Amino acid sequence: MLLVKLLCVGRLRERYYREAVEEYRKRLGAFCRFELEELPEERLPEQPSKREIDAALAREAEALTRHIPAGAAVCCFCVEGKAFSSEELATQLGQWRDGGQGKLCFVIGSSNGISEDFKRRAQARLSVSRMTFPHHLFRVMAVEQLYRAFTILEGMRYHK
């Protein structure tokens, strides 16, 4: 069964976000082995410099790299990524799955983003919107879109 891992920098603290993610985690179990892992966000001063932010992103990238499953295709969620429709995401998931890619790792960075070096090494960059969303809300949106993509692949009624 396909492994889909969502690596997130930062923790969900609000119960309602955790419950929403948990609901989609359960639903995803019908289509893949889904794992979600939270990594701590680097602490920064109140008014960090670009150098301090870049150093924090580099440390987060090192931690992310250690938690990517061996052999996994990596897809970063980032604003400059390619904007996919739900159907296009489903097609991409299907291509990875049917092409023999047994492990996928989606990455949501911290509130400061993801280091440029890490993004360059990823197989794909995905943008959901040019709008900005709170990281905690976006995590719910990302898990829901993964679920939606699998239901599209299976021809289920969830996607209208």
| 3-class secondary structure per residue, 92-118 | HHHHHHHCCCCEEEEEECECCECCHHH
Res 150 pLDDT > 80: yes
Q: pLDDT band for position 130 (50/70/90)? A: confident
Res 159 pLDDT > 80: no
| The pLDDT of residue 67 | 98
> What is the arithmetic mean of pLDDT over 119-148?
92
- Condensed to tens digits (0 to 9), the pLDDT of residues 46-74 reads 999 999 999 999 999 999 999 999 999 99
Give Cβ neighbours of residue 132 (< 8 Å, ≥ 6 apart). 79
| The pLDDT of residue 158 | 86
| The pLDDT of residue 70 | 96
| The pLDDT of residue 92 | 94
Average pLDDT value for the chain: 94
**Which residue segments constitute the domains of the chain, with CATH numbers given?**
3-153 (3.40.1280.10)
- In degrees to the nearest 10, what's the CA dihedral of 131, 132, 137, 142? 60
Q: Looking at 81-95, 108-122, 125-139, which range is the least confident one? A: 125-139
| The pLDDT of residue 103 | 97
| The pLDDT of residue 128 | 84
